[in-house]
Amino acid sequence: MHKGNLFVWSLYDFANSIVSIAFFLYFSQWLVVDRGVADFWYNASFAAGSLLLLLTAPVLGALADKTGRQKIYLNWITTFSAIFLFATSVVTLFFSNNPFLALTLFLLGNYLYQFSFVFYNALLPFIAPFEKWGKASGIGISANFAGQVVGMTLILPFVGGSIYFFGETGRAQALMPATLTFFLLALPMLLYFKGPKPIQYEGQISLREEYSNQWKNFKELIRDNNIKFFLLAYFFFNDAVITVVNNFPLYLENVFEVSDNLKTILLSGALLTSIFGALISGFVADKIGLKKSLVGVIGIWIIFLPILGLNRNFQTFMILCVLMGFLYGGIWTISRTAMAAITPNNKMNFGFSFYTLAERTSTLVGPIAWGGIVSGLGYMGADSYRIAMVSMAVFVTIGLYLVRKVNLEEPNSPAE
């Protein structure tokens, strides 16, 4: 295992989670609550970002595979993401009467933030040999969750007024410190990670030709049944898990009438156990194999979601929240490792572009199903949320059925 690469790679995941939790918690509230912008526009920015990813990520991923320049692309995309997010924080602090300018800058910064994971995830083979990919992925994911906990702790004094930066007070204070911290902690990755060397590509690169070849390249990629079934499976089980996480605060509010302070404690507790879930699942995956590990963690989710939804005792619910953290860390760790294992080395960046797109577009079916159940069964009160929670097990079950068709015994992409 390349310990230097592992350290800066994990530090990068730690860093980007600090800025993501700050914008997730406070930019949305600054925009919708403080500035009065309809939440439709906030959610529309994510849809627009997903469209930009669809139009650019596969092409640049294919170019990275041809030229070996994925580390260079990661450096530039990370830098511009930080610039746009920093510009967003400047608008919130000093030009708060221009919320749509802030939203536009956030759209671009968040799009580039999501884009960076195409190349970041594809660097896993340069960190460890195949038999240690689970461990390496688990360390990276655990660093991500640790960064979220640190991020919440870091920005709370700014939001609460204990520490005053400058400009507008309140939620706007959270964004600039988080962005600066993100970029400073990401710099070691940008400067010192020893990744693939650029390839002397024979021939002229034509963007027009690359775009015209995308459909053909995609069909070639999914001609491999392992990749086809895994991406479909990931779409379904990730859809359910992300829907549950995104609606977790609303579930707490409407089912158990939990206070905001207790919500924060439960969220922090789930994030802390996610750290251990990521680490443990990585070791387990290396020990018993990716297929057994992935089937196992998805199978537990199928059992867990109905138990979570049908439970009516709050003390039991708090214990289940701890278990949910373990499962959340585990499913992300093993999924990323599995994608790296089934993707050919010469298509690693192109493959991870669709892994990222599957993650982004999977936040569509689940939320529609959840929202439809809660709205349609609104007369049932808290039980409508319980039924919505149980229903997510259906999507995970579809994911399990598809995952069982995937061969994860040997990697297509050996470590460099």
Residues 46-57 pLDDT 10s: 778 888 888 888
Is 275's pLDDT higher than 80?
A: yes
Better-scored residue on pLDDT, 363 or 316 = 316
Residue 264 has pLDDT above 60, yes or no: yes
Indicate if the pLDDT at residue 202 is higher than 70: no
Residue 157 shares a structural domain with residue 240: no
Q: Residue 284 to residues 137, 278, 332, 392: CA-CA distances in angstroms?
A: 12, 10, 14, 26
Q: Are residues 241 and 359 in the same domain?
A: yes
- pLDDT, residue 413, reads 46
pTM: 0.81
- Comparing 96-105, 115-124, 262-271, the range with the smallest average pLDDT is 262-271
Structural domain containing residue 235: 220-407
- For residue 175, what is the domain's CATH number? 1.20.1250.20
Segment 137-158 shows an average pLDDT of 88
**Residue 311 backbone class (left: φ over 0; alpha: ψ -120 to 50; beta: rest):** beta
Same domain, 263 and 322: yes
Same structural domain, 320 and 269: yes
pLDDT at residue 304 in the model = 94
Question: How remote is the C-alpha of 197 from its chain's centroid?
Answer: 27
CA–centroid distance for 257 within its chain: 28
For residues 164 and 231, state if they share a domain: no
Query: Same domain for 262 and 325?
Result: yes
The stretch 232-242 carries a mean pLDDT of: 89
Q: How confident is the model at residue 203 (pLDDT cuts 50, 70, 90)?
A: low
User: Can you give the pLDDT at residue 250?
Assistant: 72
